[in-house]
A = this chain, B = another copy of it.
Amino acid sequence: MPYIVKKELIPQYADTDMMGVVYHANYIKFFELGRTAFIHEAGYSYVEMEQAGYYAPVYDVYATYKRPLVYGDEATISTWLSLNDGIKTVYQYELTNQTGDVCVTGYTTHVIVKKDSFKPVPFKRAFPEWYKTYNRLMENH
């Protein structure tokens, strides 16, 4: 069982669209909130990754919408790892509303690149400790 980080999240009016629900692309920003909380709980910081000279751009993203979040909801985003192969890191996300209904699930895949050149570098080599921590969190040891 992977280590799961939960974070509360209140949709803003700004996040909604004229369908009366959260606009579909804005859930991808909510994924960022979950990922940031996960990294923080793991004891790391994306700010420090950039200060060390690297970015972790998104390689791909998937989201499926089962039930909309609406303004007034108090949502929770759960984030965990499903891949950490030394090159790619995959974060999984599940957004639930205040009654526990699953609203959106998805994932993002990330790689590490050098800030100056955007050249890919293995995560394992650039951040060996962080990589080992993620290996443990994959299995929640």
Contact = CB atoms under 8 A, between A and B. Distances in A.
Interface stretch (A20-28, A79-87, A95-103, A119-127): A20-28
Q: Which applies to chain A's interface (DSSP): helix, strand, loop or mixed?
A: mixed
A47 B11 CA distance: 12
> Looking at chain A, what size class is its interface with the partner chain?
35 or more
A47 B64 contact: no
Given A23-B13, A29-B12, A32-B13, A60 B64 contact: yes
Contacts of A19: 18, 55, 57
Interface of A: 12-14, 16-21, 23-26, 28-29, 32-33, 36, 45-47, 55, 57-65, 68, 70-72, 108, 118
